[in-house]
Amino acid sequence: MAKTLGIEALTTEFLAFLRDQKRYSPHTLRNYQAGLARFQDFLQDHRHGPLNLETLSQLAMRDFRAFLSFRKGDDVSAASLRLDLSALKSFFKYLAKNHNLSNTALAAIRAPKRAQRLPRPIAHHDIEALMDVAQTSKSKHKWQKQRDIALFTLLYGAGLRISEALGFCWQDDFTADAITITGKGNKQRIVPLLPVVRQAISAYRIALSEDRRARIFPEIWHNEKNTGAKPPLFFSVRGKALAPRQAQQAMEKYRVRLGLPDSATPHALRHSFATQLLAKGGDLRAVQELLGHTSLAATQRYTKIDAEALMTSYKNAHPRARSA
């Protein structure tokens, strides 16, 4: 009976496990769901008969390679292929543990090599200019620009991912010298809070509380949810939890005024945090802990930025380098 379980039911069960037990982010869940849906569509044309646990156990290496070739035909990037393969491997690993699926073919498939692309941090003086533009910008809601400053200061001052910053609650305590962050894979780390970060968040909270309409946002949000969930720290002008895209749009508004490149995003503030710490002699392992990187190699990418900048300066400044 178990072998006749359909792939739709198995996928739904797997995604629920990632959401409820593994606490995967909504973004990752959407990507995994899309990747598994593509695989199911491919199998419907690639194999005949019902798609169930028994079908999945019979798949060979050539079937998985055929799927990746099919995806390459859509001219997708290596990153997209890696993501699809990651979703499949997690899915089959789950089925092996929970439904006794026996299929080792997928484990032998290697992911396409990821293109080595260095992070693109924002220079410190440009970040200062961004803060100045935000502070002096005309806004219908005074608290809105204070929110943007608080968010950008938090990202830059603590090196957070945007999802981590937007995951804070209104009741969270930002008066201490450090705060606990829950990052990828539900892993926790402690990150120091600079006085400038604490001050920016305090200024935002005061500004929102002084607005006769906005000050009731936390209460409205809590009452609407009715699930015991806490109101978010960062609100949109409609009183909803601020979304990552809205944070990106806020940054776009300010960077356009300064003529900064498209790479000047909220996430680039995290790159700036790491790059500048390492440039000032910060310990690589310590920076790895602050960023919440599982792999030291992910942190080492930032040292390459400094080396690349050094070589560029050398080539531009050294009199013999120009004729080389």
Tell me the two tokens of residue 61.
Answer: 């290496």
Which residue type does 199 have? Q
Tell me the two tokens of residue 105.
Answer: 């073919």
How far is it, in rounded angstroms, from Cα 259 to Cα 149?
19
Does 293 qualify as catalytic in the annotation? yes
Does 267 qualify as catalytic in the annotation? yes
Tell me the two tokens of residue 236.
Answer: 């949109």
How far is it, in rounded angstroms, from Cα 148 to Cα 137?
11
Q: Which of 145, 198, 205, 267 is catalytic?
A: 267
Q: Which of 71, 255, 270, 271 is catalytic?
A: 270
Does 255 qualify as catalytic in the annotation? no
Tell me the two tokens of residue 89.
Answer: 């491997």
What H or E segment, with its residue span, contains residue 178?
strand 178-182
Torsion sign over Cα 268, 273, 279, 283: negative
Does 184 qualify as catalytic in the annotation? yes
Q: Which of 184, 222, 253, 301 is catalytic?
A: 184
SS (H, E, C) 121-173: CCCHHHHHHHHHHHHHCCCCCHHHHHHHHHHHHHHHHHCCCHHHHCCCECCCC
DSSP for 83-109, please give it: HHHHHHHHHHHHHHHHH-----TGGGP
Which residue type does 224 have? E
Q: In a 3-state reduction of DSSP, which class is residue 181?
A: strand
Q: Which of 161, 205, 255, 271 is catalytic?
A: 161
Tell me the two tokens of residue 139.
Answer: 């806004």
Does 161 qualify as catalytic in the annotation? yes
Q: In a 3-state reduction of DSSP, which class is residue 227?
A: coil
Q: Which of 71, 198, 271, 293 is catalytic?
A: 293
Residues 6+ apart with CB under 8 A from 301: 118, 119
How far is it, in rounded angstroms, from Cα 85 to Cα 94?
14
How far is it, in rounded angstroms, from Cα 158 to Cα 195?
11
Active site residues per annotation:
161, 184, 267, 270, 293, 302
